[in-house]
Structures are given as C-alpha cells and as structure tokens.
A and B are shown apart, each in its own frame.
Chain A
Amino acid sequence: MIDITTRKVEVSIDGSTVLVDPSSTVLEAALEHGVFIPHLCHDPDLKPTGVCRLCMVEVDGRLLTACNTPVVAGALIRTDTDAVKETRLGAVELLLVNHHRGTVDCAEGETCELAKIARLLEVDETRLKRLRRSDQTLDVDTSNPFFHFDPNICVLCGICVRTCDEIVGVGAIDFVKRGIYTTIGSAPDAQWIDSDCVSCGECVVRCPTGSLAPTHHEVPEREVISTCTYCGCGCGIHLGVRDDRIVSVRGVRENPANEGRLCVKGRFGFEFVNSPDRLTTPLIRRQGKLEEATWDEALDLVAERFSANRGEAFASIASAKLTNEENYLIQKFTRAVMGTNNVDHCARLCHSPSVAGLVQSFGSGAMTSSTKDIGDARCILAVGTNTTAAHPIVALQVMRSLRQGGKLIVINPREIELAHYADLFIQNRPGSDVALLMGMMRVIVDEGLHDLEFIEARCEDYEVFRESLAQYDEALVEEKTGVPFAQIARAARMYAENSPASILYAMGITQHTHGTDNVLATSNLALLTGNVGRASSGVNPLRGQSNVQGACDMGGLPNVYPGYQRVDDPKVQAKFERAWGVELHSTPGLTHLEILGGVTAGPIKAIYLVGENPALSEADASHAREALEKVDFLVVQDIFLTESTEHADVVLPAASFAEKDGTFTNTERRVQRVRKAIEPVGDSREDGWITSAIAKRMGVEGFDHESAEEVMNEIASLTPQYGGITHDRIEDIGLQWPCPDPSHPGTRYLHAERFPRPNGRGRFFPLQYRPPAEEPDAEFPLVLTTERSLYHYHTATMTRRVPGLEKLRSEELVEIHPRDAEALSIASGDRVRVTSRRGEVTARALVTEVSPPGTVSMTFHFHEAPTNVLTNAAYDPVAKIPETKVCAVRVEPAS
C-alpha cells in the first residue's frame, strides 16, 4: 500500500481509493482529492489544534477531527455518514450561537467562512434563534486605525492568537477571561492598540468570521501583482485597483521572499499613491517661486542648463526607490551624455561599507543567503539590526529559526524587541563592534573552535589575521565594549558550535567611520567558522530600501558600471564605450557627500536629484541644505514636494511605483517585477521616461527604448550577474542573481564552490580597533544614535501621508534611560532640546530602559525635528559613509 517511487500511501475516502502524502492530515488528503470537509480553525500555515470540531470524519469507524489526524496507510475514511453529519451539525450550531450576526442568509456570507459552512450544512435558522443568548452586545474595538475587532461575532477559533504567536512571534493577543466571558485580549480593560500588536494584519486576513476585519474595505475591480515599494525585504503584493486608485493590498503566497506575509507598511501603507499632495505637473522657479510649467518648458530648460554643465560640473543622485531599469538609465545618462562618473545614491549613506567590505573579503557585496533559508539556521547572530522594525519579514524567519530550536544572539546598544527573544543579548557601547567581534574570534581561536579545514581549503591571509587577534585581550575588549568578557566568550561558543550560523546586520554595523572594518569583522567571523557557502549561513547585510540592492547593481555608484565593473578598468571601459557608442571616463566620480561638498568647495554646478531627500537624510543636514541652496542649477524629480524641493530650480513630477513597469532587486538578490497598476496621476511621468526625455532633448542617442523590458535586455547584455534575466523569465517568480545566462536557475546562496575573487579564496583581514570620530565629553556628555520606526519609512514623505501610520507614530521621540532622565529632570512627554556641535533640535522625550544609560536615540523620519542636523558627517575612509550612528550631544529640558 506504499508506492515505492512517490512514497505515497493508499487510503480510501468515501469509497474511492486514493494515493496521498504520508505526512498529510486527513483534512489535507481529502481537500487535495476534491472532497470538501468543513473546517474553520484550520489554517495551512498554522499547527492544527482541532478546537472547532467542524471537520469531524469517521476513520476506521471512529469519529475524529480531520485537521489533526494524520493519514495512515489503508485507512477507511468516511466524510458522509449520518454520525458525521450529526456531529458536524451540532458543532456548527454551537459556533453559530456565539456568532451574533445573521447566519444562513447573512449579507456578509461571502467573507464569512462560518456563514458558508452554515449554508452548506443546511442549518435551521429558527432553531438557532432559540439557542442563542440574546443579550450579547459588547463594544467593538476600533482602537487600531487599520482594523477592528467585534467580539460579538468571534467564535474563538483561535486563528488570530496562533497567527500572532506562531507566524509573527509577537504574541500580542491571547484568550483571556474564562467560561462564557472568554474573549480575545491582551490585558485588563486594554484595547487592541494598548497591546504589543504591530498592526501587521496577519491575523485579520486569516480571521474566518470577519470578527477581525479591515476598517477600510473596498472590493477591487482587478488585481495586479507587483513588489512592495518600501523596504528591501521585497515582498510580493497584489495591488487591488478600482477606478484607477489603489484600494487594497494582499501578500503573494507564491512569492518565496514573503510567502504571502506583509508588515503594516506593506499591507496598509499605500494611501500615499492617491494622495492629493502628489505632484502632478512640472514646476519651474521664477522670481524665487516654484510655478507650474509644461513638460516642454521644463525639459527644454533642463536640457539647456545640463548641456552647459557637462563634465565634472555635473552630478546625479540616483535612487534606491526607482526600478533597476530607471537607475540604469540615470547612470548611463550621467556617464554617456554628461561625461562624468559623478553618480551616487543613498546606498552611500546606508550600505556602502557592505559593498566595499564584502567585495574585498568575499568578492561580492551582497547578502549571501536567501531570506527563507535564515529560518533554518541553527544560530543567528543579529548585530546592529533592529530587524523587527526595519526588516519585519526577515524577522519572521528569525522567529521561525527560534521555533525550530535555533539559537539567537543579539548584539545591540539598545534593548530592541529581538533582545527579548535572544538566548544571549549583548548590550555593547555604540561603535565598539570591531572590538567585540574580534574578541569573539579570539575566543574561537584560543578554544580551537575554528574550522581549519575550511580555512585551509578556501581562505587566504589567515596568519596575519590571527596575529592581529593578539591585541584583543580581555582587558581591551571589556574596556571598549563595556561588556563582561564572559558574555562575549559565550557568544563566541554559541556561534561557533551551532552550525549553520547566519550573521544578520544592518546600519548598526555600517554607519560608522569604521563601517568597512565592522563589515570585515563579520566576514572574518564567518570565514573562521566555515559559515559561508552553505545554505542558512553566511553574512547578510539587510538592505534598506526596496531597490537599494538594484540601484547598486545597476552602477548607481561613482566607481563602477552595472555589475560592479570598475570604471578604471580599461577593458570594462572599452566594453561600455562599444556598447554605448561614446567615449567614457576612467576616473571614479564623486560620492554622495563629496557631491554636496563639491558645491561649496569644488566643481559642482548642476545636480540631478532623483527620488531622494538629502535635506533630511544627509548627516549634518544643515550643510546639505546649504549646498542644495547654493548649487547653480538643481533639478529634483520626486512624487511629492519635499524639504529638498524647497531649493530646486526645476521640479519634475514622477510616477509612483504603482504607475510603472520594471524590476526591483530585493535584499536577497531577487530580481522581481514591478507592474503598472494605474495610470500616472495627473501629468506625472515614469522616472525612466523623464531621464530619457532629457537625454533626447540634448540630442543624443541610446535612450529610445520602447519599454522597461527593452532596457532590461540592454542591462542583461552588459551585466554578467543579470545576464540571464529577462522580464519573461521573472513573470511569476523572481530570480536571484548571479544568473549569468538564460538557462541559469539563479543563485540561492553565494560562494558555494569558490569566492568571486581572482584566486577564488575568501580573504581574512587583520583589524585595528578605532573609536568613533566623536566621543562624549564634558560639553556634550551623551551619545546620540539613530534608529527607525516600524511605522515610517526614510524621511516619511510617503508614510506620513497614510493617516493610520501617522496615528500609530506621529512624532519624533528622544529615547533616554531613566537614570539620565532623572539627572536632567526630564519626564516622558517633556519637550527636550538636543544639541550637538552642528545644531539643535527639539522633540519630546520618552524615558525608557530600551536606551542604555549614556545613550539617547532618535529616528530621522520627522521634518519637525530633523535629527540629521545633529549627526556627524565624519566618514569612513574607504566607503565614505558618514557616522550617523554615533555623535556627542547634550540634552536639556526645553522650556
């Protein structure tokens, strides 16, 4: 009865014999073979609990719940006996009497699974009326801006509780109270909003009765599959459209990056697309004021002024929010038309050390693992990443690994959410990561926990590295990190002894004057323990914006063409000269900070700024604003007016991600489709169209692609990693680069056989500890570090136009430890003034132990309190990233 080739077993369902997977339940087996068994508390993503009793069947004559009964070879399953029907009817009646809404003829019948089942089982409505307690009118909980909970129709199937626990890992809600008062809740008299809920809506989409339901619900006329425009997780979404508006969003189950799951921004954060604030027409500054203009006027002016500023006077700032195709066009325009390599983008401010560092050690500057494989790691080392806030869908994989018994080490100066789940939480001093990681490696080597075989076979420069470990003795490491050495030793053992181990990091590692060293420390650690080149291991820089990986891949960087091919390599230069039919330049261009700096103290006269808002996002923002103000000619291309457009000479209205075709590359290197769901609003245009239109007005060729697909074909022909990528191939599921040719299946994890370096080996780096550029002193006694809120994105130009997100977090908060707060006589809610050597900002204080003593923290989402006025622009010598994670400040009550 077991089929040898398929390993399936034979069972009989209602008299017909079928082959089923031995690991399936009776319910799954029946559904697979088209036999419907009513079920309510079952969800394919959750462990079965068997509480609703609806799925009763007879197995070998015994009544059992199908959802939690495994199939056994030879079982006789009946779903249609009288006994089955009777128990089912009893079960459904029991549920319905607690479901205080219409039932069989209920208007909500389409969204309510229970109503469907009631109709199917021919429940007698009049009998129900007698059974039902008539007095149930509990208040509907409308405290969450995106969904409500109606306890009157909740049947306590528990799907929401299990979802929040098993999938999201938050456990915001549970069954509370007892007997007939049992309900879903979190604390005495608490509303939903008072719980630990992160508003992801995962429970809402799974609720089978509509007890949990979205507040705004419009049925879309059609749906378009696309990729979320927010973070680098790159979740697949179905955009629901009605009357040329985005009205709904659903996760794409088939998408391997998110498997249908979304965070609060992705699920509820798309009102900005149809915001009345969208820019709908070009603007030209006349007599100091931005005035409406036609596209012809705007493009003529831009083309004329750009033509007058070719060469080193010109610079472009590309955007991690644009598609690959558009970024490709911007860098091509800059290099081929404007004759300069002065093109950079915001990756300079977030992950340039990852690109610079990992290229040196591994040969490739991207996340080595796939998102999903992280969930199978035996150990996760999360250093400098507040994953639940900044990469919520990656965080779900961390939770999955924990559920499977994986170990979690969290290293962070702040007691972030993940710290509560960690087996080991190390709260180190901001900026001390090199000392900490090298200290760990010293323990690993001293205790012989390293993987010598791997080091021999696949690495180089191990000896010099090992010698550099000598200085990291207990005294130095404790002094620099402020962490007891015993804890560091425990972390070292935990990481080295639980393989595969995966390192996750984000800006806590990169945004330092020694950001590249930090990155090299992580790659040293992975090489030392053989944790590269296997699934669920590796070094994984979690990339911030939806297409920051792609913007780098496309050569939106001053030193490389697409595919990280160096501009100073004559062979590469010749290749691009041939392809583009122009002469190109071998000198690397200016970086982000240098471009803005180049306005006051250098050659820069004209800037083409696309989809970015340096007036808020740049370290030492006041200087950035000065530069934007001073530059002769500033073109800003965006979907909204921003703090940066205030300085623009011309503003070009761009289409949002929902209004165009193309691709984004997410943090796991997966190139995925972005699709046009609605027409560009007003007279806005796709960014790619705009760049090409400027180029064409300047009378050049090579910008007359008919579609994004055509641009991708050009990219593939010039970019080895993208060689096999076409829009056709990624129609349904994206491909992970490297994907060198049309038959290549893409790459799930990097460096399996060899590292893409000349000799194929991974390289160790000896490292020196260097302190942050600015340390606290008598005048500025506290450290300011920067962070992100789950509810906002970047300078919040999009998220603050979503009223629900604005409600969940509406202002900047200076997080400060109770000890420091007390010393300064500051209470939560007080307005405080934060001052650094560069400027001052006022905001309200939040007194919390999340911030360690001596350190305060702020986001940079709120223009009313522009945090980057305070931050330090001192930068890493290699990657030229400013040190936004550490500066010295003074905090005082603002009266």
Chain B
Amino acid sequence: MASTDTDLAPILDTFERRPETLISLLQAVQGRLGYLPPEVLGTVARHARVPRSRVYGVASFYSQFRFNPVGRHRVAVCRGTACHVRGARLILEELERSLGIKEGQTTEDMEYSLETVACIGCCGLSPCISVGDEVSAKLTAKKVRKLFKNAQRSAHK
C-alpha cells in the first residue's frame, strides 16, 4: 500500500484538497493505474477530504470507473432492448460461467474482462456481444461456450 501511495503522490499533488476535485482526481488516478484498486480509494478519500465510502459511491455511479484491471480482451454484452428481449441475460449468465468471472471482473490470466453496454448498434444481429473490436452475432449459450472454451475460469484478485 505504501508503494501505491508514493506512486500516486505526484498525481495527487496536482489537485487541491477539496471534495469538489473528486471526480477529476479519480480520472487521473485511473489514467495512471488503468483501474481503481481498492486501497487507492482510501488514499483518494484522504486527499479530497471526503469519507472513503463517498469515493466508492461516486466511482461506482459512473460507468467510466473500474475497480478491476482490464484484460487483454474486453468482452462487452449488449443489454440494448433488442438483445434484452432475445435473451441477453442468458448470454451474460453463460459468459459468467464460461469465464468464471462476474460482470465487471477480469480473468486471473488477465485475458478477458467482462462488462455490459447499452447498445452495440447491431440490433438486427441480436443477441450479440463484442470481443475487442469484433462483434459476435445471433448468439446462443452453446455458441458462447464454444467461443470461450479455452478461457481460464477464475477471477483476478
């Protein structure tokens, strides 16, 4: 923890120690570390002079902040209306099983991270997901299993 603290010192020092700076502070920290590790929330809280819970409250309200490192491949499940009515939920559940992680998490080998998005813009191909820049269309649970059969099934801690 002490090492993260010192790493962050130059970033923190560019912000005034006021609650109003919280969001920009979080953006800067995430910009540096790629995500917001739990112990950093306390550091940010002290700097902005707000309770720790407020930092998490604010950070978890905006989808731009993440609390886990991102994997090499970002798997995004579309939860737009079209996908939703065609079973996006089942697709998400299957992905969680296949990858062994929950939404918002990354696999232990740092290969995949799993998230949901509002609409990919391929409603005709629903239900769909994107893996990196590639869209996989008209998915079923079975197709999902095939797609990720070699994925490691445990979450990064």
- Listed in ascending order, the chain A residues whose CB lies under 8 Å from chain B are 165, 170-178, 185-190, 195-196, 420, 818
Contacts and interface: CB of A to CB of B under 8 A. Distances in A.
Contacts of A188: 38, 41, 56, 60, 67
Contacts of A189: 38
A196 B53 CA distance: 8
A185 B63 CA distance: 17
B51 interface: yes
A171 B46 CA distance: 13
A546 to B, nearest CB: 31
A187 B51 contact: no
A185 B50 contact: no
Contact of A172 (B2, B41, B51, B60): B51
A171 B50 contact: yes
29 contacts: A170-B51, A171-B51, A171-B53, A171-B54, A174-B53, A174-B56, A174-B57, A175-B61, A176-B53, A176-B56, A176-B57, A176-B61, A177-B60, A177-B61, A178-B62, A185-B56, A186-B53, A188-B38, A188-B41, A188-B56, A188-B60, A188-B67, A190-B38, A195-B52, A195-B53, A196-B51, A196-B53, A420-B46, A818-B2
A425 to B, nearest CB: 12
B38 A187 contact: yes
Nearest to A189: B38
A185 B61 contact: no
B51 A174 contact: yes
Given A176-B60, A177-B61, A185 B53 contact: yes
Given A187-B38, A187-B41, A172 B53 contact: yes
A821 B80 CA distance: 54
Interface centre among A171, A187, A195 (most CB of B within 10 A): A187
A178 B51 CA distance: 19
Label chain A's interface by main secondary structure: loop
Contacts of B51: 165, 170-172, 174, 196
Contacts of B62: 178
Contacts of A165: 51
A771 to B, nearest CB: 32
Interface residues of B, number: 17
B53 A187 contact: yes
Contacts of B63: 178
A433 B49 CA distance: 27
Contacts of A171: 50-54
Contact of A196 (B38, B49, B52, B61): B52
> Which 6 A-B residue pairs are closest in the complex by CB-CB distance?
A171-B51, A174-B57, A174-B53, A186-B53, A188-B67, A177-B60
Nearest to B57: A174
Contacts of B49: 420
Nearest to A182: B61
Nearest to B2: A818
Nearest to A849: B2
B56 A186 contact: yes
Nearest to A847: B2
A175 B52 contact: no
Contacts of B67: 188
Nearest to A188: B67
Nearest to B37: A188
Contact of B61 (A173, A178, A420, A818): A178
A742 B23 CA distance: 60
A188 B16 CA distance: 25
Contacts of A175: 57, 61
Nearest to A822: B2
Contacts of A173: 53
A187 B51 CA distance: 11
Interface centre among B50, B52, B53, B61 (most CB of A within 10 A): B53
Contacts of B41: 187-188
A187 B67 CA distance: 10
Given A420-B46, A818-B2, A186 B60 contact: no
Nearest to B62: A178
A185 B46 CA distance: 18
A177 B54 CA distance: 11
B94 to A, nearest CB: 17
